[in-house]
Amino acid sequence: MPREERVNAKHTIVEKFRHLLKSTSHPEEKVTLIKAMGNTGLPDFVFDLQQIAEDQTQPEVTRAKAIYSLRKLTPLAAKKVKNFIMRVVL
């Protein structure tokens, strides 16, 4: 697949996940989407997962899953994720 097609496909995937996350009101669906975002390994989701993890209005399980999902993104965005985790933990 040519590079431009890969970039477009990645952008489509990222935007679809973001849309689904915003449009769901079911906590179980939200947690499943958060897990899937981490499983993609795309560093594009680091900011999204950090926002969820810091959002005090989210249920604790949702916030915890966002932090846990960041672990799969650490190799690709190590400095961002590590700084965030240190801020949250300490």
Q: Helix/strand/coil (H, E, C) string of the chain? A: CCHHHHHHHHHHHHHHHHHHHHHCCCHHHHHHHHHHHHHHCCHHHHHHHHHHHHCCCCCHHHHHHHHHHHHHHCCCCHHHHHHHHHHHHC
Task: Specify the pTM.
Answer: 0.82
What pLDDT, on a 0 to 100 scale, did the predictor assign at position 90?
A: 57
Note the pLDDT of residue 26: 93
Q: Residue 1 has what pLDDT?
A: 74
Residue 22 to residue 51: CA distance in whole angstroms: 12
pLDDT for position 86: 67
Using the structure block, give the residue that is written with the tokens 């489509």.
12
Domain residue limits, the chain = 3-89
Can you give the pLDDT at residue 22? 94
Q: What is the mean pLDDT of each run of 10 residues along the chain (90 residues)?
A: 86 95 94 95 91 93 92 72 71
Say how far apart CA 41 and CA 61 lie, in whole Å.
21
